[in-house]
Amino acid sequence: MKHSIALFFLTLLSACAIGPDYRRPDVDAPDAFRGDAEADAESLADLAWWQVYQDARLQNLLRIALEQNRDLQIAAARINEARAIVGINRYAQFPQISAGANVARSRTSAATGIPVFVGRDRTNYAASIDATYEADLWGRLSSLTEAARADLLATGFARETIRISLIADVATAYFDLLSLDQQYDITQRTVATRQKFTELTRARFERGVASGLDVSRAEANLAAAQATLPELKRQIVQTENLLSVLLAQNPDFVVRERIDLQSLPPPPAVPPGLPSSLLERRPDLVAAEYNMVAANARLKSAKAALFPTIALTGSFGGQSLAFSDLFTGPARAWSFGLGLLQPILDANRNRYQVEAASARDEQVVQQYRQTVEQAFREVADALAARRNFADFVAAQEAQVNALRTARQRAQRRYEVGFSSYFEVIDADQDLFTAELQLVQGYRNTLVSLVQLYRALGGGWDAVLQQDSPRGGAEQQE
């Protein structure tokens, strides 16, 4: 009965955790993202990735990557490790029970002069069940368990961050590949056009109509376009290799259709949403917050280590000289103890542990604020890129149309002798450069959507709000 009362009071005292409860630090969130014309609760990040990337070929690549990517598999293994660590810390709060048995053979020395009535050789048998329990009066052990749980959740959200990055990397590589294919096709057409024009110039030179300089310029112009092809091939192969690795495959050719970027399904026109919602939407921000929860819990554990540790120990078993008597009543043995440990020489070291934990807690708070600021910047940058690349494409399309007309006119004027060959060369070079820049503009427009979707935290399944650190803090309030 006395033991039960003592355990009851120890259980009550175990609720006396030392240290402040977690509170989310204040963050200066703007009312709207820079570059957002009108703040709206609706957000592009609320859409699933297959709703944003509607090209069937890209969707198939994304599914393969999400199933096979090595980084995601490594992240899943880290989650399993963190879950096991939670179990390790949780079991430290329970009584530690062990069973043991031993047999020892000994002989008493005859030279001691001590009379022995049962013989100098003897065998001792012993068996016992031992239990130890550290009363978690100040919450040291429970705080470590809380920290491990926060680490587990942070690891889970880190995996979602990798998932978002993987979706963005695959989409970017896919658009890069289509862009390079389109630039390669443009270069091949340009090479074919310049080849025909070089042959025409040589024929005019043989008839004495064109000069040798015209032939040299035509050949140089043709060689310049031909030299672009190997560089584009290199970029295509390297992009295919990158995409293959993202799909957890050996570097190889990526099966695809040769389509123009402008023929892809248009992206959805959905606003970015409210900046305040970004704190719950982006998994890296949620992971950073769980890091603060873990650091706060470890600070509480370090402070609890400054106080005395109370441990209960108990043992029950038997001891006998004969194995047959080991489990009989006369061989029964038991012990019970209550220990208190207060560090004296190590007290200063424990205080330094508190200072170190407090410094680490301050570090993760500042890292969280920095991560939030970086997130706002990434969204603003993506909004600016999307808007300005769209304007660039519109202007570049007009330039390409004008240069095509200019080249046709220059060629016709040259053929009838009204223009010099230099006008033809200049018009052809300008058109070739403008066409490549236009394709790059299409690519940049698509990638800006990828960057915006990634910056907003789109592409993963959010956990319930009540499981977030903020939900826990609000309940404590």
Report the range of poorest mean pLDDT among 367-381, 416-430, 453-467.
Answer: 453-467
275 within domain boundaries: yes
Question: What is the pLDDT averaged over residues 356-382?
Answer: 91
pLDDT tens digits for 199-246?
Answer: 888 888 888 877 888 888 889 989 999 999 999 999 999 999 999 999
121 within domain boundaries: no
Q: Determine the pLDDT at residue 6.
A: 40
Question: What is the pLDDT averaged over residues 443-451?
Answer: 93
Question: What is the pLDDT averaged over residues 364-377?
Answer: 91
The residue type of 448 is S
319 within domain boundaries: no
User: What size, in residues, is the chain?
Assistant: 477
Number of domains in the chain: 1
381 within domain boundaries: yes
Between residues 144 and 176, the one the model is more confident about: 176
Between residues 434 and 421, the one the model is more confident about: 434
Question: What is the pLDDT averaged over residues 91-115?
Answer: 75
237 within domain boundaries: yes
For residue 126, give the nearest of 320, 329, 315, 322 by alpha carbon.
Answer: 320
Band (pLDDT 50/70/90 cuts) for residue 51 is: confident
Question: What is the pLDDT averaged over residues 73-99?
Answer: 88
Band (pLDDT 50/70/90 cuts) for residue 12 is: very low
Band (pLDDT 50/70/90 cuts) for residue 433 is: very high
| Long-range contacts from 377-380, C-beta under 8 angstroms, 24+ separation | 378/451, 378/454, 378/455, 379/33, 379/272, 379/275, 379/278, 379/452, 379/455, 379/456, 380/33, 380/34, 380/35
Cβ-count burial 200-224 (b if 16+ within 10 Å, e if not): ebeebbeeeebeeebbebbeebbee
Residue 104, pLDDT > 90, answer no
Residue 166, pLDDT > 90, answer yes
Share of the chain above pLDDT 90, in %: 36
Residue 173, pLDDT > 90, answer yes
Q: Determine the pLDDT at residue 410.
A: 85
Q: Determine the pLDDT at residue 111.
A: 63
Q: Spell out the residues 6+ positions from residue 67 whose beta carbon is closer than 8 angstroms to its own.
A: none
Residue 470, pLDDT > 80, answer no
The residue type of 47 is L
111 within domain boundaries: no
pLDDT tens digits for 273-288?
Answer: 888 888 888 899 999 9
Most confident of 39-53, 81-95, 418-432: 81-95
The answer to whether 201 and 421 have CB atoms below 8 angstroms apart is: yes
128 within domain boundaries: no
How many whole angstroms separate alpha carbon 414 and alpha carbon 105? Answer: 114
Helix (H, G, I), strand (E, B) or coil at 32: coil
Residue 435, pLDDT > 50, answer yes
Q: Determine the pLDDT at residue 357.
A: 86
Q: What 8-state DSSP symbol labels residue 312?
A: E
Which pTM was predicted? Answer: 0.82
Q: If DSSP states are collapsed to H, E and C, what string results for 244-264?
A: HHHCCCCCCCCCCCCCCHHHC
For strand 309-320 and strand 121-135, is the pairing parallel, antiparallel, or unpaired? antiparallel
Residue 58, pLDDT > 50, answer yes
The answer to whether 417 and 234 have CB atoms below 8 angstroms apart is: no
Q: Determine the pLDDT at residue 132.
A: 85
pLDDT tens digits for 174-201?
Answer: 999 999 999 999 999 999 988 988 888 8
Question: What is the pLDDT averaged over residues 68-81?
Answer: 92
Q: Spell out the residues 6+ positions from residue 20 whose beta carbon is closer than 8 angstroms to its own.
A: 296, 300
44: domain range? 16-96+138-307+349-476
Residue 370, pLDDT > 50, answer yes
Q: Determine the pLDDT at residue 109.
A: 65
Sheet holding 309-320, edge to edge: 96-107, 121-135, 309-320, 332-341
Share of the chain above pLDDT 70, in %: 86
- CATH number of domain containing 171: 1.20.1600.10
Q: Spell out the residues 6+ positions from residue 307 whose beta carbon is closer than 8 angstroms to its own.
A: 18, 137, 138, 342
Other C-beta atoms lying within 10 Å of the C-beta of residue 43 = 19
Residue 165, pLDDT > 90, answer yes
296 within domain boundaries: yes
Band (pLDDT 50/70/90 cuts) for residue 476 is: very low
For helices 56-68 and 140-206, the axis angle rounded to 10 degrees is 140
**Which residue shows structure tokens 């690795």?**
245
Q: Determine the pLDDT at residue 468.
A: 47
Q: Spell out the residues 6+ positions from residue 370 whose beta carbon is closer than 8 angstroms to its own.
A: none
Between residues 9 and 355, the one the model is more confident about: 355
Structure tokens at 188: 């091949």
Mean of the per-residue pLDDT values of the chain: 82
